[in-house]
A and B are shown apart, each in its own frame.
Chain A
């Protein structure tokens, strides 16, 4: 009843195979985009940008990246934190080496650098799989963090060992550094996440994506029907690395402003993004957004309820956050292994028929 698809006929193949074949979905999607681009930037303030919108958009980009690797290609990675660090350090080196170049060029370049590094760490996936691969990506996590700490070239020989983002602009608008306006931060992240989602969505429904899914479902069978496992796995690592690198670059330059690698890109970041992907839904682009929103809002919500309303100490809220997110992972895996994205699909089914049961 609320979710209509009657009278919606496709007359060409391209109409039938578009991302949102149902008119209702398509208009809803345009509406969301319009609100995100034309309404939110005028109302956003510093608190909302820093606490909710900017981290949400950046994590959504990272979650899309990990979802391609884990959800679509079935390769579990626990190295997301370090891969984000690669993006962050790449963009830092680029920003300081070429100050006059626009951020719109630096960030994708950092993504490309990350794609290269991640592909190298993806090479073992040709020999090992499953848990073994998960632990192998831990090697990337610890090794890269150590490397960024120990080699002074990466942090331009600064005394503190930290990297801090200088002021850079896009078309004359400052997007990094302490003087950035909230809406500028929001807009640059929004542009990248929109592009990332668009690219990811179209890759995953094309031939590359089908190969990934074939590898995920059963790699030997996929090999037999003619999927080249090396190409499929390495492209998944590269594409995933590209998005994660962009996320890392934005996370450092736009959101944090200054970063210390062990603290900002530690193993807990890897798990956070993995949790987003699981809770949101493995193998779903919408799920990446839903999971990122959920995991960004959860601590804000818990903090507001326990610290703001009940007046509990903050460390207690932090412990509860551990319990709640861990518990939710288990609950989701037991009750709904396909995550929030599946709940959304079920809800759509119900709305289609409402108020009738069948």
Chain B
């Protein structure tokens, strides 16, 4: 086989893996959008915040130590213990539930029935707020996140492809585990929404708020639930991105890429989020590989957005979105 083709194959595979991570963030958006009609811009920052909290808990950092030191002149920084990864993840999930409750109770309960664009702007405010809180709580330096996921090149794929094609593919173990985790997460989400009482209630709310309310489903509870789930999805995405490129501010910018993913897939469709993520992941890697060198590289920054933009002009509701019907 020609060498260019093999390179392209490898690029596509890596793109698929990156796409899985985009899809993970996009999933959180879709969940909240379906259940409450809120387009949650803060999803990326939630992933950052969850990852920061996880690192902080694992390292036994004292929250807000920076500001406490500034006020009282103390020298606090660490408790001096290390929490095992699994326990830390559970604790962080707890933090995200509390966060979900706070957001629901103090922000969106007051904004019920507002226009969608107002809600969107409120989530931009929330993103800024949460980013500040995250930095204040845990410090803004770049942190390493290691929850024991395998890292580095996958030797088996390298050797097998080398034997088959004479060229070893470079696939990161972390990307493979991210894919597996994502598959499990989606499966769990589908099981949850199909087979549990709360999951059914959630789907009912997504379908029609008022009808759900009239059969006795508590909207408040469902909204807290869905924000908690989105927080948990954000945590998973944060772990994956954090393990890949360190926990830092750029995490929330990467997560912005979930927006074009959503536009491709449609705001209301979980399969759409996944397919859209894969298309964007493969598309931007392939574009960078094929066209990038001709125009000076770094096309990954904008390719996803421009692709989504062009796509939208022809199909405004996305690949799997519900048909938009407008009435006066």
Contact = CB atoms under 8 A, between A and B. Distances in A.
B256 A218 contact: no
A146 B299 contact: yes
B77 to A, nearest CB: 14
A150 interface: yes
Given A124-B312, A322-B128, A278 B133 contact: no
Contact of A139 (B118, B306, B328): B306
A35 to B, nearest CB: 33
A48 interface: no
B44 to A, nearest CB: 12
A327 B110 CA distance: 14
B1 interface: no
Contact of A150 (B118, B267, B296, B327): B296
Interface in A232-278: 267, 271, 274-275, 278
A157 interface: no
Task: Give the one of B122, B126, B296 with max A CB within 10 A.
Answer: B122
A182 interface: no
A143 B306 contact: yes
Interface residues of B, number: 52
B95 interface: no
A132 interface: yes
A319 B117 contact: no
B159 interface: no
Contacts of A149: 298
A146 to B, nearest CB: 5
Contacts of B267: 131
A225 B247 CA distance: 53
A224 B295 CA distance: 45
A138 interface: yes
A265 to B, nearest CB: 14
A84 B22 CA distance: 29
Interface string A213-225: 0000010110010
A136 B312 contact: yes
A103 B263 CA distance: 42
A95 to B, nearest CB: 25
A319 B125 contact: no
Given A146-B302, A329-B128, A134 B120 contact: yes
A334 interface: yes
Nearest to A218: B328
A278 B121 CA distance: 9
B66 A316 contact: yes
Contacts of B70: 310-313, 316
Interface string A137-174: 01101110110011100000000000000000000000
B132 A330 contact: no
Interface in B221-272: 253, 256, 259-260, 262-263, 267
A297 B125 CA distance: 18
A46 B288 CA distance: 46
Interface string B291-328: 00001111101100110110011001000000000111
Contact of B107 (A151, A274, A275, A334): A334
Contacts of A329: 121-122, 124-125, 128
A127 interface: yes
B304 to A, nearest CB: 8
B82 to A, nearest CB: 26
B302 A142 contact: yes
A330 B140 CA distance: 23
B131 interface: yes
Contacts of B66: 313, 316
A326 B309 contact: no
A327 to B, nearest CB: 5
B133 A333 contact: no
B8 interface: no
A321 B298 CA distance: 31
B132 A322 contact: yes
Contacts of A218: 328
A271 B305 CA distance: 17
Contacts of B120: 76, 131, 134
Given A131-B116, A315-B140, A330 B301 contact: no
Given A139-B308, A325-B128, A316 B121 contact: no
Contacts of B135: 319, 322
B110 A334 contact: yes
Nearest to A139: B305
A218 B328 CA distance: 8
B111 interface: yes
B39 A131 contact: yes
B122 A143 contact: no
B67 interface: yes
A220 B295 CA distance: 41
A213 to B, nearest CB: 15
Interface string B104-144: 00010011001011101110111111111101100010000
A-B residue pairs, 3 tightest by C-beta:
A329-B125, A322-B132, A326-B128
Interface of B: 39, 66-67, 70-71, 107, 110-111, 114, 116-118, 120-122, 124-133, 135-136, 140, 253, 256, 259-260, 262-263, 267, 295-299, 301-302, 305-306, 308-309, 312-313, 316, 326-328
26 contacts: A130-B116, A134-B120, A135-B263, A136-B308, A136-B309, A139-B260, A139-B308, A145-B301, A146-B298, A150-B295, A150-B298, A220-B326, A221-B328, A224-B328, A316-B136, A319-B136, A322-B128, A322-B131, A322-B132, A323-B132, A325-B125, A326-B130, A329-B124, A330-B126, A333-B114, A334-B107
Interface of A: 74, 76, 124, 127-128, 130-132, 134-136, 138-139, 141-143, 145-146, 149-151, 218, 220-221, 224, 267, 271, 274-275, 278, 310-313, 315-316, 319-330, 333-334, 337
Given A136-B308, A149-B298, 9 more contacts: A76-B117, A134-B120, A151-B296, A275-B125, A310-B71, A319-B136, A322-B128, A330-B107, A330-B122
